[in-house]
Structure 1
């Protein structure tokens, strides 16, 4: 059994009504007493989210961008200071292994990644250095992340931030979901990197929102997340991740054959769907709950939350040939599907 990494408890858990999460989220708050109000504050651009459980990795050296370009799914050689990109590291068979939120400051490439993934990512990158002039460090102990509902890159004089490009098409790529009328156009997000010792000062007097509020808005934007919408078999096409994280003509990288083969010759075996779940129950289904079409299990719930206007909503990954008109069932609750990745 794999041991969970020990994460430093956030000082923001001392704020009034803060409720800590579980597992890898145990060091931060899932809410501060009113998740629905926290969602509204995020939509209005007023609140900030404690993401200090996320890992932070740095890459320095003159070869850093060309090296990361060669290892990942994204075009990075032209990345300028304070420009953000999203990239993935795939297995040799093309399955998603690491998700990298990258921003460069002109001398260092800063990467935020999923909680607990910093050291495994650093170890893997370190093995790939060979004779190149790069240095990799896991700096999670000294640097922390805050989530802000803003759609702009950080400006000079501000703390460095990674801007989420979702759902734009970044570079030479393609969408497996809709381009027009995508709900993600209402999603604005960036991750601000601040000294861990100054986390409370960086928040200042802004209201705090918890992980539940941020996750509900992410689900409503159909935004995939590593470890939620992905498992050991996930390929990028299934969750519409090419649009922001995969450049289709950037040269060789690990897993590229699978990306190209599925894109050019077929369709992915599974597809992401958005679900409106029957809200008559008092308890929401859990991530991992089976999704059924009649008596047949067709997939699983990957993320679920309560939206302040839409009620219980979820993302799920289901078999590609599932009837897009079918009303699905999750824990015997009806769930109306909206197609994200076309069958």
Structure 2
């Protein structure tokens, strides 16, 4: 697993992140100021720890179309999309955030996952005229928030979505970009806005048995009318005949607790107390500049939508993200 430490960790006030985000700054000394700047369309986020994968060749889109959950065979140049790679049983293995620039499909993925992704893609090349490359050492990803008027440079590859722009730039230019597009905001600010928007993240909202329906990835990363891909049978069966066993929920946490419940903290009915039966787990918990402490969690589908919960030992009120 390869991740590259960001040179922006040398900026004043930079505090390294933890876990998969340890190679970039969690914050630069003022978490809520950084969040407010992003919410107002100012500054940028260093995502240079994420893996960068490039696919070239005249058959790149038709080939990827066979492997991904998303419809990409006729993806217009410059149009951003996201896609998953599933196991044969429909469990999520990879999440790709991609764009085609007319010559190359660029994708960024979770830190350290690019090597396993590339190994799978290489095993599926067969006779197709495509080339897959790990460009993580050469290119970094930075995020400009929605509403930003910053001009990243016309020569750069940009993924533009409703949540902002992801820019692929030469890693050697990262410090110059930071100087021109500050203030820098850390991963904690970015994650707080991600949780507010109910957007799942591979490795946090997922475990070894997560299927796309549980996280609301149907529609944004899964196309239900495209042709065959690995795991499609599970996607179609759950969509047409059944219900996912779990559902993503948004949690408002009791603000009187000093410590946030960590990833994996059990979710239980508040009425049953901290020794009650576990019904799910916290996936991401953050402090939001307006909403206070909030979280995402995976909960058993049949838990009532109005049930009050305990996230670890912290009282939590749920909002529905994925309908039961």
**TM-score range relative to shorter protein:** over 0.9
Instruction: For residues 11-54 of structure 1, give each alpha carbon's deviation from its aligned partner in whole angstroms, at most 9, with x where no partner exists.
Output: 11111000001233221100000000000000011010000000
Q: CA RMSD in A?
A: 1.5
2:41–2:147 contact (8 Å) kept in structure 1: no
Of residues 92, 99, 103 in structure 2, which corresponds to 1:96? Answer: 92
Is 1:302 the counterpart of 2:299? The answer is no
1:204: which partner in 2? 179
2: CA distance between counterparts of 1:32 and 1:198?
Answer: 20
Shift of 1:151: 6.8
Equivalent residue of 2:99, what SS? strand
Residues 156, 36 of structure 1: alpha-carbon distance in 2 compared, 3 angstrom cutoff: closer
Q: TM-score, with normalisation over the residues of structure 1?
A: 0.89
Of residues 250, 254, 257 in structure 2, which corresponds to 1:274? Answer: 250
1: CA distance between counterparts of 2:298 and 2:176?
Answer: 40
Equivalent residue of 1:300, what SS? strand
2:292: which partner in 1? 311
Of residues 262, 268, 275 in structure 2, which corresponds to 1:292? Answer: 268
1:71–1:253 contact (8 Å) kept in structure 2: yes
Q: After TM superposition, where is structure 1 displaced by more than 6 Å over at least 4 residues in a row? A: none
1:177: which partner in 2? none
Of residues 148, 165, 170 in structure 2, which corresponds to 1:195? Answer: 170
Is 1:341 the counterpart of 2:322? The answer is yes
Shift of 1:6: 4.2
1:72–1:89 contact (8 Å) kept in structure 2: yes
Q: Which runs of 5+ in 1 are unaligned?
A: 166-187
2:50–2:112 contact (8 Å) kept in structure 1: yes
Residues 263, 157 of structure 1: alpha-carbon distance in 2 compared, 3 angstrom cutoff: same
2:154: which partner in 1? 157
Residues 129, 6 of structure 1: alpha-carbon distance in 2 compared, 3 angstrom cutoff: closer
Instruction: For residues 132-176 of structure 1, give each alpha carbon's deviation from its aligned partner in whole angstroms, at most 9, with x where no partner exists.
Output: 000001110110000111379x998252112345xxxxxxxxxxx
Residues 203, 158 of structure 1: alpha-carbon distance in 2 compared, 3 angstrom cutoff: farther
2:237: which partner in 1? 261
1:273–1:315 contact (8 Å) kept in structure 2: yes
1:151–1:164 contact (8 Å) kept in structure 2: no
1:17–1:32 contact (8 Å) kept in structure 2: yes
Aligned length: 316
1:143: which partner in 2? 139
Shift of 1:200: 1.1
Shift of 1:77: 1.3
1:332: which partner in 2? 313
2: CA distance between counterparts of 1:151 and 1:86?
Answer: 21
| Bigger mean CA offset, 23-32 vs 44-53 | 23-32
| Bigger mean CA offset, 248-257 vs 75-84 | 75-84
